[in-house]
Structure 1
Amino acid sequence: MLPFRLFSKFGSFFTLVSVLALLFACTTTKKERTYSANELLQQGKRLAKEKETEEAKAKIQLLLEDYPDSKERTAATMLLADLHYSGEEYEEAKFHYQKFIELYPAHQFVDRAHFYKAKSSFKLTDLASRDLTPVHSALEGFERFVQDFPQSSYLKQAKAKITQCLDILAQNMFEIGKFYYRTGSYQAAILRLKRLKVEYPKHSYILEAEFLLGESYYHEQNFSEATAYYKTVIKNSPRSEFAKEARLRLKAMR
């Protein structure tokens, strides 16, 4: 009988321990969710203001997971995107701005989400890289923004960003054309520089591009085309160094 009694005592003991552990687990679970959606949002905002970015993201993520239908979700979604943007996590920022756009397409701040999504693409631009995909993506986003939100407070900034994107694309095209010219690939240089004139006619590199077109045609011994471009350079900027060089070329061809 003794072994049976011992077993009963130990069995009761383990049962008691299991019950207490379960109660403790339930109590712990409840304690982890003591903050309301509004409290989590305010904590996230405070931490963001204090530059405690990771802690702020954790609070906002908890809000989104625990209170998916709360009214605070709108502000939390935008704040999470902003936190990624300020942390230079631009791919993540784009994702969350897009999520805001999809969830709240008629929200009063949806223009802000569109603007910063495009700005995130622009921030991904690596000027040392030949991959201009982020620039094209940003340009498309800013141009769509200007079209869709003509009354937005971000309109002026968006237009400035469009100019920056066009400058980057134009400069890239010009540098490629100039490279072809320097390496003696004059036909390739002509094609690239002519395309520059068509696509970016008001860009600051146009004067030099016209001079290099004249030079490229000169080296190709197409003197009539060379003459036309030299005269254009002189007409458009008579006091420039390029005009001075163009006059010397014209004098030499007489």
Structure 2
Amino acid sequence: MQKKLSVVAATVVLLGLSGCGLFSEKADETKGWSATKLYSEASEELDGQHYERAIQLFEKLESSYPFGTYAQQAQMNIAYAYYKSQDQAQALAAVERFIKLHPNHANVDYMYYLRGLINFNDQVSFLNFVYEQDATERDPKATREAYAAFKELVTKFPNSKYTPDSLDRMRYLINAMASYEIHVARYYYRRGAYLAAANRAMGIMSDFRDSPSIEEALFIMIRSYDKLGMTELRNDTERVFRLNYPNSKFLDEGKKAERHWWKFWSSNASM
């Protein structure tokens, strides 16, 4: 009986200590904060590049005042904070959520632009390794998604202040995608897959007409058709090539051209 009383007494003591806060979680310092204070504090954290804390405060603001004047701006800032903290998945999720909830928001064009930037930064990382990795092992998914995001912005909001920069980035991305295709075409040619090389180069002709990679794509087609013994196609392609690029660095004839080409590739685009 005495043992049971001791256990009960100990339990009471523990409960009392818990009530005093010894075992309680840290109190929520934002409890009772107004929407204005939450937004101000969160914005300060964002400006100070304390992105994790900024996200916490903006999320607190959104949950506490979901219908207030700051709620939608908080959602946008959450997406931006995730973007700046390089959390691509969370940033894209926040962007998509905002666009779905507020398709007619006055600043929704910025969210389309941010979606492009998120993928653009990811594809830049991909390009940093463009000469270090086998071209067939890379998937330029982020490049295509960034281009699609910027294109959607330009199409839906042609007068947006973000449209000029989006157009510049789209031109860059077109060249990046064409460059990737050139690397793959080279890969096929160097391994004797001449038909695959020609087809890949032909795809560049149809999909990236304004890209500087067109010049080399035509040359790859000429060399591939030559290897395949497709004389008529080779001659037709060479006529187009010479007409459009009369001063091309690829214009050396015969064996000299082959040596020049391989020297150029090995020094500029080894894989």
Q: TM-score range by the shorter chain?
A: 0.7 to 0.9
Q: Does the 8 Å contact 1:90/1:120 carry over to 2?
A: yes
Residue 263 (structure 2) aligns with: none
178, 184, 192: which one aligns with 1:184: 192
2: CA distance, partners of 1:210 / 1:32: 64
62, 78, 81: which one aligns with 2:79: 81
Work out whether 1:202 is the aligned partner of 2:200. Answer: no
Deviations 1:166-220 (A, max 9, x none): 2222111111111111112111111111121111122111112212211112122
The offset of 1:148, in angstroms, is 0.6
Q: Does the 8 Å contact 2:30/2:38 carry over to 1?
A: no
2: CA distance, partners of 1:248 / 1:50: 59
The offset of 1:110, in angstroms, is 0.7
Superposed CA RMSD in Å reads 3.2
151, 167, 173: which one aligns with 2:181: 173
The offset of 1:106, in angstroms, is 1.7
Identity of aligned residues (%): 22
More moved, 199-208 vs 223-232: 223-232
More moved, 180-189 vs 52-61: 52-61
Unpaired runs of at least 5, structure 2: 130-136, 258-271
Q: Structure 1 residues 49 and 202 mapped into 2: Cα distance closer, same or farther (>3 Å)?
A: same
Deviations 1:49-80 (A, max 9, x none): 12222222221122122222222111111111
Residue 103 (structure 1) aligns with: 101
Paired residues, what number? 238
Give the aligned residue type for 2:60.
L
Q: Higher Cα Rg: structure 1 or 2?
A: 1
More moved, 75-84 vs 226-235: 226-235
TM-score (ref. length: structure 1)? 0.81
Q: Does the 8 Å contact 1:178/1:189 carry over to 2?
A: yes
Matches within 5 A, 1:4-83: 21=19, 32-83=30-81
Greater fraction of residues in helix: 1
Give the aligned residue type for 2:54.
A
1: CA distance, partners of 2:99 / 2:180: 32
Deviations 1:98-137 (A, max 9, x none): 2222222222111001110122122222234612222222
The offset of 1:45, in angstroms, is 0.7
With CA pairs under 8 Å and 6+ residues apart, which has the higher RCO, 1 or 2?
Answer: 2
The offset of 1:30, in angstroms, is 8.3
Aligned with 2:253: secondary structure? helix
Residue 243 (structure 1) aligns with: 251
1: CA distance, partners of 2:116 / 2:28: 41
1: CA distance, partners of 2:203 / 2:103: 38
Aligned with 2:68: secondary structure? coil
2: CA distance, partners of 1:30 / 1:54: 16
Unpaired runs of at least 5, structure 1: 1-6, 250-254
Q: Does the 8 Å contact 1:174/1:209 carry over to 2?
A: yes
Give the aligned residue type for 2:59.
Q
